[in-house]
Copies of this chain bind each other. A is one copy, B any other.
Amino acid sequence: MNTPKILHLYREKLERGLSEVLRDPTLVGESSRDTDPLYPILRYHVGLCDENGRAVKALGKMLRPSLLLFTTQELGGDLDRAIPAAIALELVHNFSLIHDDIQDHDEIRRGRATVWKLIGISQAINAGDLMYSIAIKNALLSGVGAAGSIVDAARAMIEGQGLDLTFEERWVDAQSYIDMIDKKTGALIRCAFRTAGIIARVDRAVIDVLTSLGVELGRAFQIRDDLLGVWGNGDVTGKPQGSDIRRKKKSFPVALARKRSGEEGRSLLERVYTQERISDRDVADVIALMDSLNVKKSGEEAVEQHLKEAREYLERLPLSEKGKELMNELIVYLARREK
């Protein structure tokens, strides 16, 4: 399927912006100075260059900053004022990926070696911290309201990541799962819409609808992600198939499978998820159990349900007809995406 237009509109601007803010600031002609070891890896991580510093085009979808910029424009806000906030949001997302990959021991992201895999855990922690700092510095350029909105979202995202890690040690019910993803994933997506509303100075009531739209899109996005984490095609997602099972993530499919399982299924899950290492055979067994319980179909239905609600909030927003059409195209994409 084609990438929706919203994700094309601002790519050049965002690429240029990322490229500018991730330059090593100490490189000002003083060749005798120690160059900073972290900036090259930040540029690598966002996909501006390969591990040898050669320019490549490997940027991600840039969903969050695209939503922020599109919504700002549709609400009549100043695009130039929104750009630093959009860059900040993309950097916050990327900082969290650098640290998540350490925590999850992931060696591959989007088909490329992860940061810690290239430079070690210690320096990867610094790389994430530095990217977060650059993010906030940029957010401040969009004003104190936008910066506050982005820091709040980052904070919620980190709390969500903290909860998600505790899930590796226990079973969770649907409510705990939703609370966690509303933070871990939802926070930055809500933030894209809220920050647009703040920059465009819309009424509080509109901010509330923007937030609700973000909540629903965030849930749909994460549940789709969870489905791809089990059934996704590794060649497309850039991650091995069944990777979320191997990492013992208490994601949507396993929470639902456990809820629907009889005694036999539960004991299989109990056995697999309490093991030190999960084998290929275990992964296949868990997927077979999920398939027998119709988990994938229910997940797809849940995604559709959240997107339906998202569409209802979208209808209540003061966007142009063309704007709503493009948002709807994006919503269809989020439901069907394969990576």
Contacts and interface: CB of A to CB of B under 8 A. Distances in A.
Interface stretch (A1-9, A136-144, A189-197, A283-291): A136-144
Most B CB within 10 A of own CB, among A126, A147, A155: A126
Contacts of A34: 163, 166, 176, 179-180
B148 A137 contact: yes
Given A132-B129, A151-B137, A122 B165 contact: yes
A79 interface: no
A293 interface: no
Contact of A162 (B33, B103, B130): B130
Nearest to A134: B155
A45 interface: no
B102 A122 contact: yes
A131 to B, nearest CB: 9
A143 B36 CA distance: 30
A103 B120 CA distance: 10
Contact of A137 (B99, B134, B155): B155
Contacts of A127: 162
A165 B126 contact: yes
Given A137-B155, A155-B134, A129 B37 contact: no
Interface string A168-179: 000000001001
A19 B151 CA distance: 20
Given A34-B176, A140-B148, 16 more contacts: A34-B166, A34-B180, A36-B159, A36-B162, A38-B162, A102-B125, A103-B125, A128-B129, A129-B132, A130-B155, A133-B154, A134-B155, A136-B136, A137-B155, A140-B147, A140-B151
12 contacts: A34-B163, A34-B166, A37-B163, A103-B126, A122-B165, A129-B129, A130-B159, A130-B162, A133-B151, A133-B155, A134-B155, A140-B144
